[in-house]
């Protein structure tokens, strides 16, 4: 309410003052602390003159001059197009029916409306020659200091046009130096943080994989201004992400003036999009935030927005679970599952998830070479049916979840024989297999119906299925659709839209089902998917040591509530690493905790530790799901990884510390500086899940300022030593 009053009052005041200045219109898009200032110049060109800390009276920008000549191209255009004097990478490149490529957009009007915490600004730009209309839409989340921008491109002309580039938006930044942090990786190695000082010309981060688009790079970034590295607590940082689960492209172009233009959008790769007369194309959201307190505040802004708006069911606490995959793989019977359920219940877990291997009769899914597409229960394995297993879990007080991979088909399946035309393909070209499977063509509405049906029918296998793990285990090759005919250019865009169509329908019918987005691990980690999915399977890599790097980087952009993190067996099945069970728990507990092993293989002592860790997690996990993150040490920079989550009222917190490399005795205990606490409050600090604490101060009460500026130095010297500390103030 406070924000509503504030914004209404502010905007009323601004409207009176700003359009009056010398033929220019100043349009501020602002949140509580940040501001994007756009100015429609006398010639109608819309330019971005500021993105950063909030300026009380941005009307001064009406008189602002860049001081640069126009001979070298147009200035910082808010939505740069091919045409006019602009010679940089365009956000919008249109080819018209007459073969010409120029678009010059002129400011027509704008409107602002406030709806509680969200202030929406819509700016209409028009090309008087081609009649193309562009609506720039900005949702400014006041409290979270996040802006979501998308663009609506309307062909108001009489002939179809081709959209060759159609980015969601552009961000123009002006600094002396730009340090870009981005993410690369591969299977079981997603979200590896990488960075570089941007030089002149263009750096591009792009995915052309069709599916699994985020396995090797992520549509997100952080740019540190006037800095040579990403800093946690100081410096100006712009962080952004594209909400799109298909091919994407981020570009960072530093022109000769030193300005940086960041474009984020759907990849134009093989995707010239024909827009018929009268039709509108809506781009995905480009989400961004500005922080003058380093990466930490940028993450907290994005996370707060994600919990409140960006993630399906964000802010909700999801159950701990035992997943059958690494404990049973394809080899199980009903009996195996019931015993796993018994063990999960006995350990205090809250859900059992039956992973791959439960389906297909004629081509039973006993390995990854058969069965995908035939989604009936394999009665040879589970003669009693899914209902029996689910009811058993429910009787034991557990929720029940099940795995599907609805976008895929094995050649060895009835589906492949019945609907060969549904497979992604290109005439005369090899149908390459990957993990022995083909991709179904989600650009085809009939396939969308089929995929919807897989989820819907699976939900009918038992009365109360609480959770679906939606997987997607390969990329697209020889792309093409029998449905699209000559419109193959639409394939990649309509595939991604197809997933969203299906998810929209499913969410209307199943609003409460928890749905995990998995794609061989983190192959579909983006805010487009998270509009419909509650969580991600962060990585198939369950090794707690290498997970430190994946989780640290994932959490720069995505909140901990979406990061599924499981304790698995050692030697780890992916990396071969052997880490202590406590270290594995402590790592998994910094996200959504699960287990993924055969509990029968644990010793009595290990079971006791597991029970203890699960019990304590339940006491503090609301902090992991809804608290603010403060990172205390980066695995990328030193020998420790440490982070904490602090409750919104700053009364409670949980701190996770991990030693990743042996420290010799002379080094002694590393001093971590906690953060986000109330300096004046007294916190009781308790190390959890140990009989003897690693910190001299555990069990005692300490002032917030001591913990933040003094000496929190648990003795964690051996590789894979770790500690979890719970803080509570009166
Ligand atoms: C993918 C997932 C795993 C598991 C297997 C099952 O690799 O990422 O978690 O579900 O498929 O085949």
Residue 21: pLDDT band with limits 50, 70, 90: low
CA of 589 to the centre of ligand 1 (A): 21
Task: Kindly tell me if the per-residue pLDDT of 377 is higher than 90.
Answer: yes
Report the CATH superfamily, name and number, of domain 2-65+73-310. alpha-galactosidase from lactobacil brevis (2.70.98.60)
CATH number for the segment(s) 321-625:
3.20.20.70
Task: Kindly tell me if the per-residue pLDDT of 81 is higher than 70.
Answer: yes
- Pocket of ligand 1 from Cβ distances under 6 Å: 325, 355-356, 368, 403, 471, 473, 518, 520-521, 537, 540
Read off the tokens for 636: 């990328």
**Rounded mean pLDDT, 230-238:** 98
Residue 98: pLDDT band with limits 50, 70, 90: very high
Atom of ligand 1 nearest to the CA of 521: 8
CA of 581 to the centre of ligand 1 (A): 22
Q: SS3 of 721, please?
A: coil
Contacts of 465 (CB under 8 A, 6+ apart): 390, 400, 401, 402, 458, 459, 513
Greater model confidence, 505 or 15: 505
Nearest CA to ligand 1 atom 12: 356
Closest to 689 (Cα-Cα) out of 605, 563, 599: 605
Task: Kindly tell me if the per-residue pLDDT of 5 is higher than 90.
Answer: no
Place of tokens 């956000």: 91
User: Of the ranges 254-258, 276-280, 514-518, 593-597, which one carries the lowest mean pLDDT score?
Assistant: 254-258
Q: SS3 of 334, please?
A: helix
- Judge contact between 186 and 203, C-beta under 8 A: no
pTM of the model: 0.96
CB atoms within 10 A of CB 698: 18
State the span(s) of the chain assigned CATH 3.20.20.70: 321-625
Residue 10: pLDDT band with limits 50, 70, 90: very low
Catalytic residues: 471, 540
Nearest CA to ligand 1 atom 9: 540
State the span(s) of the chain assigned CATH 2.60.40.1180: 631-729
pLDDT, position 72? 67
pLDDT, position 22? 59
Nearest CA to ligand 1 atom 8: 520
Q: Which of 467, 540, 564 to mutate to test the pocket of ligand 1 (most atoms within 8 A of CB)?
A: 540
CA of 621 to the centre of ligand 1 (A): 25
Nearest CA to ligand 1 atom 6: 356
Ranges 11-15, 68-72, 541-545, most confident: 541-545
User: Of the ranges 59-73, 570-584, 659-673, which one carries the lowest mean pLDDT score?
Assistant: 59-73
Atom of ligand 1 nearest to the CA of 368: 12
Cα distance between residue 626 and residue 311, in whole Å: 12
CATH topology of domain 631-729: Immunoglobulin-like (2.60.40)
- Judge contact between 27 and 149, C-beta under 8 A: no
pLDDT, position 65? 84
Task: Kindly tell me if the per-residue pLDDT of 15 is higher than 50.
Answer: no
Atom of ligand 1 nearest to the CA of 469: 10
Read off the tokens for 34: 């940040």
**Rounded mean pLDDT, 658-667:** 94
**Rounded mean pLDDT, 510-523:** 98
- Judge contact between 239 and 288, C-beta under 8 A: yes
**Rounded mean pLDDT, 518-536:** 98
Percentage of residues of the chain with pLDDT beyond 90? 93
Residue 282: pLDDT band with limits 50, 70, 90: very high
User: Of the ranges 70-79, 265-274, 710-719, which one carries the lowest mean pLDDT score?
Assistant: 70-79
Place of tokens 């995959």: 325
pLDDT, position 2? 40
**Rounded mean pLDDT, 34-51:** 96
Cα distance between residue 666 and residue 333, in whole Å: 54
CA of 471 to the centre of ligand 1 (A): 7
**Rounded mean pLDDT, 409-414:** 98
Task: Kindly tell me if the per-residue pLDDT of 9 is higher than 70.
Answer: no
Residue 1: pLDDT band with limits 50, 70, 90: very low
Task: Kindly tell me if the per-residue pLDDT of 414 is higher than 80.
Answer: yes
Percentage of residues of the chain with pLDDT beyond 70? 97
State the span(s) of the chain assigned CATH 2.70.98.60: 2-65+73-310
**Rounded mean pLDDT, 247-275:** 96
pLDDT, position 711? 87
Q: Please, what is the average pLDDT of the chain?
A: 96
Cα distance between residue 113 and residue 121, in whole Å: 7
**Rounded mean pLDDT, 293-297:** 98
**Rounded mean pLDDT, 94-119:** 98
């Amino acid at each position: 309410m406070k924000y509503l009053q504030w914004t209404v009052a502010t905007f009323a005041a601004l409207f009176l003052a700003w359009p009056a200045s010398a033929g220019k219109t100043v349009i501020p898009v602002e949140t509580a602390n940040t501001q994007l200032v756009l100015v429609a110049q006398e010639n109608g060109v819309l330019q971005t003159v500021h993105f950063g800390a909030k300026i009380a009276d941005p009307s001064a920008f009406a008189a602002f001059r860049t001081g640069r000549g126009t001979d070298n191209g147009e200035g910082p255009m808010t939505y740069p197009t091919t045409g006019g004097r602009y010679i940089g990478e365009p956000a919008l490149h249109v080819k018209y029916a007459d073969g010409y490529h120029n678009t010059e957009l002129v400011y027509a009007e704008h409107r602002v409306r406030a709806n509680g915490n969200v202030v929406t600004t819509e700016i209409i730009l028009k090309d008087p020659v081609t009649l193309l209309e562009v609506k720039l839409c900005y949702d400014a989340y006041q409290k979270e200091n996040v802006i979501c921008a998308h663009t609506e491109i309307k062909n108001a002309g009489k002939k179809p046009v081709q959209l060759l580039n159609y980015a969601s938006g552009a961000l123009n930044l002006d600094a002396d130096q730009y340090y870009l942090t981005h993410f690369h990786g591969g299977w079981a190695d997603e979200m590896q943080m990488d960075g570089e000082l941007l030089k002149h010309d263009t750096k591009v981060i792009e995915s052309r994989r069709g599916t699994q688009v985020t396995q090797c790079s992520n549509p997100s970034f952080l740019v540190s201004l006037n800095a040579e590295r990403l800093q946690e607590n100081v410096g100006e940082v712009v962080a952004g992400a594209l909400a799109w689960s298909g091919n994407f492209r981020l570009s960072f172009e530093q022109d000769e003036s030193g300005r940086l233009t960041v474009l984020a959008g759907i990849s134009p790769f093989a995707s010239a999009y024909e827009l018929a007369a009268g039709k509108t194309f809506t781009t995905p959201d480009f989400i961004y935030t500005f922080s003058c307190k380093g990466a930490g505040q940028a993450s907290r802004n994005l996370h707060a927005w994600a919990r409140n708006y960006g993630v399906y069911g964000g802010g909700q606490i999801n159950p701990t679970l035992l997943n059958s995959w690494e404990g049973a793989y394809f080899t199980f019977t009903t009996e195996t599952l019931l015993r796993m359920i018994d063990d999960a219940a006995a350990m205090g877990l809250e859900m059992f998830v039956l992973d791959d291997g439960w389906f297909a009769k004629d081509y039973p899914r006993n390995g990854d070479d058969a069965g995908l597409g035939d989604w009936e229960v394999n009665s040879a394995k589970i003669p009693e049916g899914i209902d029996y297993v689910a009811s058993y879990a429910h009787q034991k007080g557990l929720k029940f979840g099940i795995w599907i991979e609805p976008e895929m088909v094995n050649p060895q399946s009835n589906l492949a024989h019945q609907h060969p035309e549904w497979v992604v393909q290109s005439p005369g070209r090899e149908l390459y297999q990957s993990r022995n499977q083909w991709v179904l063509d989600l650009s085809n509405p009939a396939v969308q119906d089929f995929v919807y049906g897989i989820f819907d029918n699976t939900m009918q296998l038992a009365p109360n299925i609480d959770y679906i793990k939606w997987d997607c285990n390969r990329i697209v090759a020889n792309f093409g659709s029998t449905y699209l005919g000559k419109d193959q250019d639409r394939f990649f865009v309509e595939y991604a839209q197809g997933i969203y169509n299906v998810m929209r329908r499913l969410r209307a019918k199943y609003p409460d089902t928890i749905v995990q987005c998995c794609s061989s691990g983190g192959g579909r980690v983006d805010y487009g998917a998270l509009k419909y999915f509650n969580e991600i399977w962060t990585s198939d890599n369950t090794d707690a040591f290498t997970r430190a790097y994946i989780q640290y980087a994932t959490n720069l952009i995505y909140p901990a509530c979406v990061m599924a993190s499981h304790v698995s067996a050692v030697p780890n099945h992916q990396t071969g690493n052997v880490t202590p069970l406590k270290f594995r728990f402590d790592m998994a507990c910094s996200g959504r905790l699960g287990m993924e092993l055969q509990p029968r293989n644990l010793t009595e002592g290990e079971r006791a530790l597991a029970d203890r860790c699960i019990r304590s997690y339940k006491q503090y996990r609301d902090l992991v799901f809804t608290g603010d993150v403060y990172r205390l040490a980066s695995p990328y920079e030193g020998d420790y990884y440490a982070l904490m989550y602090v409750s919104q009222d700053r009364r409670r917190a949980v701190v996770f510390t991990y030693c990743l490399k042996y420290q010799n005795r002379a080094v002694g205990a590393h001093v971590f500086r906690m953060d986000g606490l109330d300096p004046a409050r007294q916190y009781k600090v308790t190390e959890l899940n140990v009989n003897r604490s690693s910190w001299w101060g555990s069990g005692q009460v300490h002032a917030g300022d001591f913990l933040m500026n003094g000496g929190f130095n648990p003795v964690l010297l051996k590789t894979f030593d770790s500690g979890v500390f719970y803080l509570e103030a009166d």
